[in-house]
A and B are shown apart, each in its own frame.
Chain A
Amino acid sequence: MQLSLFLPELVLILMVVVLFFASLGKVKGGSLQGITLVFAAVATLAAIATFNQHGLMFYEAYRVDVFSQIFKVIITSSLFLVVYMGPGLSGVDSQLKPEYYLFLTISSLGLVFLSSAVELLTILLSLEISSYALYIVIPLRRQDGYRVQMEAGIKYVLFGAASTGITLFGISYVFGLSHSTYLSDLVKSIPGLLAGQPLAVIGMVMMLCGFFYKLAMFPMHFWTPDVYEGAANETTTFIATLPKVGAVALLLRLVFLAGVEVGQFTWVLATFAVLSMTVGNLAALVQNDLKRLLAYSSIAHAGYVMVGILSVGELGSSAAIYYIMGYVLMNLACFYVIYHLAPAGENVTFADLRGLHRRSPLLAFTLGAGAFGMAGIPPTVGFTGKFIVFTAAIQKGFYALVILGVINAAISAFYYLKMVRAAYSQEDELQKSKVALGMTARLLGVALILAIVLIGIFPQGFIDLAKQAVAVL
C-alpha cells in the first residue's frame, strides 16, 4: 500500500485527533477556527498533490483516481470555505465549539472516504460515518428553547436511518442478483440484469435512496426544509454543500453501473429528477425564511444535477460535476450573506433582507450573484452548468426532460428574484444599521462573486478536469 495515496485522508484523520484533544482542554474559539482552517487547507493541498495518482487499497475496496481526487479537492476546499465563513461560530455554544469542529471534520472525512469507495459495504460505512457526525452536529445550536434544533436533529436522524435501511435493502437485492459487492464486478453484470430483471431496477433504485437523501432529492427530500431551518446557520451551510458533493460522486459511480443504454432505470431517475425540480420550485415560491427557501431550492437543484447524472456519458457526467461545483459556490454566496445578516445566529427572513443594498452594497451584490446564478442567468456558473447539463440530456434524446427543466428554471427565477428584489428595495422606514464587514469577509465576498462569474464564462479548464475524472469511472 502506498501511503501517499492516502494523504488527504491522513491529514483529515490527524485533524480529527487534534480537534479531539482540543475538545478535552480549553481552547479559545478563535485559535480553534485557525487550527481547523490550517488543517482544511493542508488537506486541500494534499488532495491537489495526489491529483494524478491512482491505485487500489484496502483489498481493492478503496480506489484513488482522478475522479475521487477531484471530489476530494471540492470537499476539502468547501470545508475550508464553510469554516472560514462563520465569523466566530456565533450560532453554537462556546463550550461546544471544539466538538462542533470535530464532528464537521469527521463528517467531511466520511465524505472523502465516500468519493473513493468502490465496494458497496465500504460505501455504506463511509456514508454512515458522514451521517452520524451530522446527527450530532445539527442540534448544536445556541438558542432559547431546544425545540427547533431538536426537531431538526430528530428528523435528520429518522430520515437518515430510514434511507440507510432502504439502501441496505437495495444492496441486498443487488448482491443477491450479482453475487458481488465490488463495483468493478457489478459494472459487468448490472446492465444485463437491468435489462432482464425488474428486481434489479428496484434494487438499484433502492440502493440509491441513501444518496438521494444526502442530495435532498425527491423522494427522500422531506427532511430538508426543517433541518435547514432548525440547524445553526453554519451547520446548514455545511449540510447544503459538502454532503451533496459526496452524494453526486457516489451517484455518478452507481448510475454508471447501469451503462449508457437508456432503460427503465433511467426513466425512473428522470421521473425523480423532474418531480424533484417541480416540488422544490413550487414549494420555494411561498417561503419566507431564507434558509427554508434555500432548502427547497436545493431540492430543485438536485433534480438538475440528476439530469446530468442520468445522461451517462462523458459530457453528462462531467456536466454533473461542474454543476455541483457551481452549486456549492452559489450556495456559499447566499449563506455568506445570511451569516453576516445574523450576527447572533438567528434565522434570516425576507424582511431582514430589505434595504440590504444600503446597509452593505457588497452583501447585496453577493446575494445577487448567488441568486441570479441559481436562477441560471448568464454569465454565471449556474447558467453554464444548466446549459451543459441540458446539452448532454438532449444528446441522449431527453427532450421532454429538458423542456420541463427549462420551464422549472423560469418558475424558479421568481423566488430568486424575490431575494434580489428584497435586497434592492428601498425601505426607508426600516432604518437599520450598516453591516460592518472585515477585510477577510470582504475578500471572501469578492472572491465568491468573481468565481461565480469567471468559472461561468470560462468553463473549459474545469470541464477538462471533469472529463478526465469521468474517463476513469
Chain B
Amino acid sequence: MEQYLIYNTLSYPILSAVLVIPLVGALITLFLKGDGVLKSWGLLVTLVTAVVSLPLYMNFDPTTAKYQFAEVYRWFPALHLHFSVGVDGISVLLVLLTTFVMPLCILCSWSYIKERFKEFIFVTLLMEAAMLGVFICLNTVLFYIFWEAMLIPMYLLIAVWGGPRKDYASIKFFIYTLTGSVFLLVAIIALFIKTGTFFIPELMAHHYSYQYQMWIFLACALAFAIKIPMFPLHTWLPAAHVEAPTAGSVILASILLKMGGYGFLRFCLPMAPAATLTCMPYLLALSIMSIIFGGYLALGQSDIKKLIAYSSVGHMGFVTLGIFLLNVQGIKGAMLQMINHGITTGALFICIGIIYERTHSREIKDNSALGMMMPIYVTFLGVFTLSSFAFPGTNSFVGELLVLIGAFSKYKVVGFLAIPGAILAAAYMLRLFQKMVWADSDGHAHHHDDEHGDGGGHHVLADLNGREIVTLLFLTVFVFWIGLHPAPLLKVMDTSVTHLVDQVNTGMQHLPPMEHHHEHHAWLLQVGSLIKKLAVF
C-alpha cells in the first residue's frame, strides 16, 4: 500500500478534517435555533472547510502521481477494509471546487429558501461531506458509500425545497442514479473477489483479462454515464435541475455531474484499459451526440433553467469526449472543462435563482428587458454567458481548446463533429442573453411585484445587493483567472494525467493473448474499425 501513498505531513490530518468539519457542523445544526443563526452557521462551516482545504493546493506536490496527504485507518478488518483517503492531481482540484462552491450555495439560498432552514443547512452540509468523501477516498467501498449516501441529501433538497414538479423530478433522479450505481456495487465486489483488495491504487495496478475488463467497464461506465449524464441517459438532469432550488441546481451542476467524469478517470480508464479502447468509438460517438443534442435542445427552450440544464449535457459531452480521446491534451482539457463548467454553470444557476426571486418565473419571456433595470446583474450575466460558450479569454475557452486539440490530433472527424456544438452554444446562450437584456418588453411585461421594488412601479426590479455581488464576483474572478492564466491548474494535474495515460497504454500491452477476444467481440471491433477508418480519412 505504501508505494502508492505519500502520508500527510501537515500539522493536522487535512483530509479527515475536510470530511469531518461539515459532518460535525451538520450535527451541531440540529441544536441551533433561529434562521439568521442557522444561515450564518452554515456559511461559517462551509467557509472554514474551504479555508482548511486550501493547503491541499498550496502544499500540493505536482511532481508526483502518488496520492498525497494520505491517511489510512483500520475500519472493517473482516473484509480487509481500510479507511483510506488521499488526493492526486485529478481529485485535488475537484475537492477544492467542492469546498469553494459550497459557501456560495449557502449564500445564494440566503433569501431563496424561505422555510425550514435547519433542515436545509443540515442537508447541505451532509451533502458537502458526502461529495468530498467521493473525491478523497481511495477505497472502492468508501467510494460507493459516499456515492450513494449523496443521493439522500440531494433527493431531499429537490423533494422538500423544489419546484412544482419536485415529486416527479426527485424520484426520477433517485431511481435513475441508483439503478446505474447498483451495478457499480457488483463490479466493486467482483474486483475484490478477484484481487482481495478494495484499495483503488492496487486495483489499478492489477491486470485483468479482456473479458473481465469488459464486464467491469460496462458495469462502471453505466453508473458514471448516468451521473455525468451522457446521451441518451441524460433525461433525469433537466427534470432535476428545473425543480431543484438554486442551491440544489448549483450543487448538481457544479459538483455532482463531475463525479461521472471523475469515476471514468478513476475506475474505467486505469482498471479496464483494453475495454476502454474497444468501447472508445462508441463513447466518442455518444459524446458528440451529447454535445450536439444538448445544444440543439437548449436552443428550443423557453425555460431558462431548462436551457442551462441542456447546455450542461452539451458541456459534459465535451468532458467525456476529452476523457475518451485517451491522450494527455484530451484528458487535461476534460479535467479543466469540469472545473470550468462547475464555475460557469454554477454561476448561471445562481443568476437564474436571483432573477427568480424577483419575478417568480423562470420563463424567458417573463424575464426580458432587464438591461435598464438591473445593470449590474446584466453585466455578470454577460460575463458568464461569454464563458459558457467558450469566448476567448474566459475559462471555458482554454478547456474546450485543449479538448479540441486532443481531438484533432487523434481523429480529425471527431474534432470537426464537435465544432457545431461550440457554435450551437454561442447561438443559444446569445439568444438567451439578448432576450433577457434587450428584448422588447411590450406586451409581456408581467413582472410580479417584488418586495424590494419601490411601491407603485410594477416594472422596477431591484438590482443586486451586496451579498449577491460578492457571490458572483467571486466566480467572475475565477472565470478570468483560469481564462487568462490556466498554467497553475494545468501544472497541478499534469503528472497525474500523464501517469494515467501511461497506465492506460501499458495496460493495453499487458493483455493476455489477443485472438481470444477477437472472436467474442468481432462485431464490436468491425464497427469500431469502420469508425476509425472514417475518422482518419
Are B159 and A421 touching (Cβ within 8 A)?
yes
Are A413 and B175 touching (Cβ within 8 A)?
yes
Q: How far is the CA of A315 from the CA of B155 in the complex (A)?
A: 33
Chain B residues contacting A421 (CB-CB under 8 Å) are 159, 167, 170-171
Are A406 and B186 touching (Cβ within 8 A)?
yes
Within 8 A of A (CB), among B145-167: 145-146, 148-149, 151-152, 155-156, 159-160, 167
Are A391 and B174 touching (Cβ within 8 A)?
no
Interface band, chain A: 35 or more
Chain A residues contacting B439 (CB-CB under 8 Å) are none
Q: How far is the CA of A372 from the CA of B149 in the complex (A)?
A: 10
Contact of B160 among A377, A388, A424 (CB under 8 A): A424
Stretch from A74-82, A199-207, A395-403 forming part of the interface with B: A395-403
Assess A417 versus B149: contact at CB under 8 Å? Given A394-B190, A460-B75. no
The answer, yes or no, to whether B383 is at the interface (CB within 8 Å) is no
- Output the nearest chain B residue to A422 by Cβ-Cβ distance: B167
Within 8 A of A (CB), among B179-197: 179, 182-183, 185-186, 189-190, 192-193
Are A395 and B159 touching (Cβ within 8 A)?
no
Contact of A424 among B159, B175, B192 (CB under 8 A): B159
Are B193 and A459 touching (Cβ within 8 A)?
no
Q: How far is the CA of A430 from the CA of B167 in the complex (A)?
A: 17
Stretch from B76-84, B285-293, B524-532 forming part of the interface with A: B76-84
Chain B residues contacting A460 (CB-CB under 8 Å) are 75-78
Shortest distance between the CB of A284 and any CB in chain B (Å): 15
Within 8 A of A (CB), among B189-218: 189-190, 192-193
Shortest distance between the CB of B163 and any CB in chain A (Å): 12
The answer, yes or no, to whether B374 is at the interface (CB within 8 Å) is no
Chain A residues contacting B247 (CB-CB under 8 Å) are none
Are A378 and B170 touching (Cβ within 8 A)?
no
Assess A395 versus B79: contact at CB under 8 Å? Given A377-B149, A406-B182. no
Chain B residues contacting A191 (CB-CB under 8 Å) are none
Chain B residues contacting A357 (CB-CB under 8 Å) are 119, 160
Are B78 and A413 touching (Cβ within 8 A)?
no
The answer, yes or no, to whether B478 is at the interface (CB within 8 Å) is no
Are A391 and B182 touching (Cβ within 8 A)?
no
Are B186 and A413 touching (Cβ within 8 A)?
no
Within 8 A of B (CB), among A363-422: 368, 372, 375, 377-379, 383, 387-388, 390-391, 394-395, 399, 402-403, 406-407, 409-410, 413-414, 417-418, 420-421
Interface band, chain B: 20 to 34
Shortest distance between the CB of B225 and any CB in chain A (Å): 16
The answer, yes or no, to whether A467 is at the interface (CB within 8 Å) is yes
Are A399 and B152 touching (Cβ within 8 A)?
no
Chain B residues contacting A424 (CB-CB under 8 Å) are 156, 159-160
The answer, yes or no, to whether B112 is at the interface (CB within 8 Å) is no
Chain B residues contacting A414 (CB-CB under 8 Å) are 171, 175
Shortest distance between the CB of B143 and any CB in chain A (Å): 10
The answer, yes or no, to whether B178 is at the interface (CB within 8 Å) is yes
Q: Which of B77, B155, B182 has the most CB of A within 10 A?
A: B182
Contact of B186 among A368, A378, A403, A418 (CB under 8 A): A403
Q: How far is the CA of A377 from the CA of B155 in the complex (A)?
A: 12
The answer, yes or no, to whether A463 is at the interface (CB within 8 Å) is yes
Q: How far is the CA of A375 from the CA of B178 in the complex (A)?
A: 10
The answer, yes or no, to whether A429 is at the interface (CB within 8 Å) is no
Shortest distance between the CB of A378 and any CB in chain B (Å): 4
The answer, yes or no, to whether A197 is at the interface (CB within 8 Å) is no
Are A417 and B189 touching (Cβ within 8 A)?
no
Chain A residues contacting B307 (CB-CB under 8 Å) are none
The answer, yes or no, to whether A425 is at the interface (CB within 8 Å) is yes
The answer, yes or no, to whether B93 is at the interface (CB within 8 Å) is no
Assess A379 versus B145: contact at CB under 8 Å? Given A387-B185, A417-B155. yes
The answer, yes or no, to whether A144 is at the interface (CB within 8 Å) is no
Q: How far is the CA of A388 from the CA of B188 in the complex (A)?
A: 12
Within 8 A of A (CB), among B51-78: 75-78
Q: How far is the CA of A393 from the CA of B509 in the complex (A)?
A: 33
Q: How far is the CA of A407 from the CA of B181 in the complex (A)?
A: 10
15 further A-B pairs in the complex, CB-CB below 8 A; given A377-B151, A377-B152, A417-B155 = A357-B160, A361-B119, A383-B145, A383-B148, A388-B79, A390-B185, A403-B186, A409-B178, A413-B178, A414-B175, A417-B175, A418-B171, A458-B75, A460-B76, A463-B76
Which residues of A are in contact with B by a Cβ distance under 8 Å?
315, 357, 361, 368, 372, 375, 377-379, 383, 387-388, 390-391, 394-395, 399, 402-403, 406-407, 409-410, 413-414, 417-418, 420-421, 424-426, 458-460, 463-464, 467
A–B pairs, 27, beta carbons within 8 Å:
A361-B119, A372-B152, A377-B149, A377-B152, A378-B148, A378-B149, A379-B149, A383-B145, A390-B186, A390-B189, A391-B192, A391-B193, A394-B193, A395-B193, A399-B190, A410-B175, A410-B179, A413-B175, A414-B175, A417-B171, A417-B174, A417-B175, A421-B170, A425-B159, A459-B76, A459-B78, A460-B75
Lowest 9 A-B CB distances belong to which pairs? A406-B182, A378-B145, A410-B179, A378-B148, A463-B78, A394-B189, A378-B149, A413-B178, A410-B182
